[in-house]
Structure 1
Amino acid sequence: MVASEMTTSGCSARNEAEQGRQREEIEEILSLDPRNNLSLEQQYDLLTSVEQKRALEKLVLQSEADIQAFSLFLKLPTMALLMLNLVFAYNYAMRGLGSSSHFTNAALPFTSYAIHAEHPIIATELSIISLQFTIYLLSSRRWDWASKAGLIGLLFFSAMHALICRKNGAAELVWWILPAMNLAVVSYAQLNMRRSQRSIERLAHRVYKPKDE
C-alpha cells in the first residue's frame, strides 16, 4: 500500500512537472508567436489565473514596444525627408526652376557632391523609405534574423538603384514599387498592432470579467 502511494505520488509529481513545462511553453508562445496553431484563447485557457495575468502583462508590454518602434520608424525618416526636401528646394531655386538642367546632377548646397538620378527628389525620398524599412526591421521582434538580413539587402540595393540609375523598362517598375512597398509595410504594421490590441482586450476580458457576468 505504501508502494502504491509512492507510485501515485511519483506519477502526480511527474504530471505536475509535465503540466508546468507545458505551461512554460505556452507562456513562451504567448510572448507571442502568432504562427502557433492554437488560438490565443485556447492557449490562455491552459494557464492558471496567475500565469494568465503575467502573460497578459507581457502582451501589453510587447504591444507598447511595437508602438514605440513604429513611432520611431515614422518620426525620424519624416524629419529626414523634410530636411532633404528643403535642401533640394534650395538647390532648384539656385539653379533656376525654369531650367531643364535641374532634373539631372543636382548638387547639394555648399558641396561638390551631385547625384545622378533623373529625378533627385524622388530618388532621395525613396532611399529614405528604404531607411524606414531598415529601422522598422531592426527594431521589430516580428521577424527572424534571416528575414531581416534578406530584406535589408534588398532595400540597400533598391536605395542604390534609386540614387544612381537612369530608369527605363524594367527599372521603371522597380522605381515605382518602392512607394508601394512602403505603404504595404506601414499597413502591415498598423494591422498587426491593431490585431494585437484586440487580442489583448479579449484576453483581459477573460481574466478580469465584470462582476455582473
Structure 2
Amino acid sequence: MKRVLVVDDDPTVSEVVAGYLGRAGFAVDVAADGPAAMAVATAQPPDLVVLDLMLPGMDGLEVCRRIRETGPLPVIMLTARGDEEDRVLGLEVGADDYVTKPFSPRELVLRVESVLRRAGAVAAAVRTAPATAGLRTGPLALDPRGRRVTRRGVELALTIREFDLLEFFLRNPGRATSREELMHRVWGWEFGDLSTVTVHVRRLREKIEDDPARPRLISTVWGVGYRFDAPEADGADDAA
C-alpha cells in the first residue's frame, strides 16, 4: 500500500482529500503545518506528498525544498490562487504537479496515481537498464541506470522531471515534439497544464546550455513545440 502525506492547514480540505485517497487504497498521513510535515515525513517516509503552498510555520515551497533534499520524493503542490507565478515557483523547487483550489478530489486522486505510476516506471527502468546503455551527445553524457548526467565531466543536479525530459530529447534528436506529446511521453499524463512543460524546458536550458537566453541544444519550434539539436562533438566536449 502506497503512503501519501497530505499537508494542509485547512482541516476540511485535509479530511476530504484523506478520505478520497483512503477509499482509493492509499495509506494517508496528515499534517497541518510545515514543521509537522517534516516531522511526519522523517518518522514515516511517504511515497508522495500532497502539499499546500500556504502553510503556517513554514510555507509549502520551503517544505518542498527540504523534502527534495532527502531524495526524489514525488510532490503535488496545492495552491489557493491561480496565479502563474505560484505554479511556476512550485515547479521550480521540484514539485511534480500542482492543483489549484478549489479542485475536484477525484481529479487529485488521478493525479496522485499518475505521478506514482511514473515514479514506479522510473524506478523499474533504473533497476533493469543495462549498464552500457548510456547516452552521449556533445558535452552531455547521460547514465539511465545511475540517473546521472554530466556536462563536460561535471555532474548536473537535475530533478526527476528534468532528467526524464533530457533523456527523451537525447533519444529523439532532431525531432520536433509538441508540448502535448512531451506531457504524455515524459510525464505520463493525458491532461494537465502545458505550462508545466514550458517551465521544465526553461529550467533544463539553464543547466545544459552555454547561453540559456540563446539556446542551441533545445530549440523552440514555433507553432509546434521543441526540438533537441545534437551538437557536433569536439575535443573539449569529448572530455565529458
- Normalised to the residue count of structure 1, the TM-score between the two structures is 0.25
The structure in which a higher percent of residues are helix is 1
Higher RCO (C-alpha 8 Å, min separation 6): 1
